[in-house]
Every structure is written in structure tokens, then in C-alpha cells.
Amino acid sequence: MPDPGERLREIAAAARKVRGQVVQMSHRSGAAHLGSSLSCVDLLLAAYAWGVRVDPRRPDAPERDRLILSKGHAASALYAVAAEVGFFDEELLQTFGTPGGRLPEQPAPRCLPGIEAATGSLGHGLSLGVGMALASRIQQLGFRVVVIMSDGECNEGSVWEAAMFAAGQGIDNLTVLVDYNKWQATGRSNEVMALAPLAKKFEAFGWSATEVDGHDFAALRTQLTAHPQTLGKPTALVCHTIKGKGVSFMEDDNNWHYRVPTAGETERAWQELGLDLRELTSDSRLPEVRPS
């Protein structure tokens, strides 16, 4: 019997690797939203491990589960995790944010295998997910849909319209993970809008809702494998996370919503993550990018 603890350790190691790639991608491309990308790495890895059934060799299989990253500004994390899962070669990550490349700063429609939707205009990913989940039921395909949203996009009215529709239709093959890192672009999420208590809001809209530590893989596994949590209801997991997670000088510092790491900061992040610096410093394509 496989050791479940070993699987958790493998995913934790993958998370460190992905975070290093995400930091390097930001440095190389000059792309912002690094802190937001780091906060959802664990959610993406957990969703692929226990939330969705996908075969990277058959990315268009009609019966595949769907994962939508509604917070498209965290695309670097989605790309790095998709490469880790095996949808494409991780060498392609080096082209992130380059003109004419296949990895734009916000996901483009079907730009690569495993990228289910164009996202980035916040508040639309849940509506897409609801439609896909309903289509799964109508067509009797039996697939599940997982949507990862930011807490800030819960400001959008379209989120709650979709939430009401999903509950009204009893769509229980839909799971939402809210990356509740407590920050949005210009301030604390709960100071900009009265989001809290977020789980109770989903419950009031007819969902089954649970709060969970979004960096605890064992807890995420428990929640994602208990599906659906309530028959006839969509599921919301309000995942408490830390913006900039994994790099001490970025954690819970909203400057990293827009800042880009220098070469030195990238190297320091890799050191903290326990990654092999030879793989970083041997990359002669790394330009020196100053903070914006």
C-alpha cells in the first residue's frame, strides 16, 4: 500500500520547486502579481492531486475534470503547476511573458494543454465553472469542476450571481477554492469590502462551505476527497493562505503584488526554498530586472 505520508512529502517538495520557478519567471519577465501567485501554489497542487482527474496525455478527453484558475493574474503558478503535472515541458516556462510566446501573463484560451479558459477579468471564472458543471450533468459525462478564485474577486457581483444559480440548480459537482490571502491590490480585503465571514456567506447562498488552512496539504486532501460534501449542493472551501507564501521577505507584504524581484532577491528566495542555485545561476538568459 502506498505511504500517504510519502505522497504529502512529494507534493511539499513540488511546492518548493514551483515557488522557485514562479519567482524566477517574475524576475525574468518583469511580470507582477508574484505574491498572489505564491499564495495559490499549494491550492493548485492539491487540486491536481486530489480534486480533479486528468490525464495529461489526453488533455481534451470529454470526461476529464476541469480546473479553472479564475484569478488569472496568478497565471505563472498555473503554468508551473501544469508543467509539474505533465501537461507540457517545463522548459517552456522560460518563455513566460515573452512577446509572441505561448505563456501570456494572463491565461489565453487553450494557449496550452491543461489551460481550460481565458481568465484575468476577475469574477468570471465561477460563472464558467458553473456552466461547465451543469453541462457535465446534462450530457451525463460525470466530470467535476474545480474553480480557484481570489478573495478580492469576491467583491464582484457576478460571483454571487453564479453562486445563487449553482445552488438553485443543485450543482454538486462543483468545488470552489477561495485563495483567502487577506490582500487585494490596494489594501486588506476585509477593509476594502466586508468579505468576512466568507464561509457563512456561501452557506447563506445555499452552498456547503468549510474553512481550511490553504497551506496544509493533509487538510486540503481531506476536504477535496470528501466530494461532494453535501449532496445537491456546490462546495466552497475558504482557504486561509499567506500572500507571498514560502519566501520570508515576501510573506504578507502587499508590495509584492506589483514588485518584481531582482537577481539577488531571486537567489535569496531560492536559498530559502532549499533549491539548487546552480540551476538558477547557470541560466544565462536571466536579465537583471529592477523593482518597479
Looking at the chain, the whole-number percentage of residues with pLDDT higher than 90 is 82
Q: Can you give the pLDDT at residue 111?
A: 85
Q: Is the pLDDT of residue 262 over 70?
A: yes
Write out pLDDT tens, residues 65-92. 999 999 999 999 999 999 999 999 999 9
- CA–CA gap between residue 291 and residue 114 (Å, rounded): 31
Per-residue b or e along 257-269, where b marks 16 or more CB atoms closer than 10 Å to that residue's CB: bebbbebebbbbb
Average the pLDDT over each of 43-52, 182-191, 243-252 and give the range with the smallest value. 182-191
pTM for the model: 0.93
Q: Can you give the pLDDT at residue 278?
A: 85
Backbone phi, psi, residue 144, to 5°? -105, 150
- Cα angle at 288 between 286 and 292, to 5 degrees? 125
Q: Is the pLDDT of residue 290 over 50?
A: no
Backbone phi, psi, residue 175, to 5°? -125, 130
Q: What CA–CA distances, in Å, run from 40 to 91, 183, 283, 290? A: 22, 13, 26, 25
Give me the residue label for grid cell 464582484.
156
Q: Can you give the pLDDT at residue 220?
A: 98
Confidence of residue 282 (pLDDT cuts 50, 70, 90): very low
Pairwise pLDDT comparison (227 vs 266), residue with the higher score? 266
Whether residue 99 is preceded by a cis peptide bond, meaning omega within 30 degrees of 0, is no
Confidence of residue 286 (pLDDT cuts 50, 70, 90): very low
Confidence of residue 153 (pLDDT cuts 50, 70, 90): very high
Confidence of residue 174 (pLDDT cuts 50, 70, 90): very high
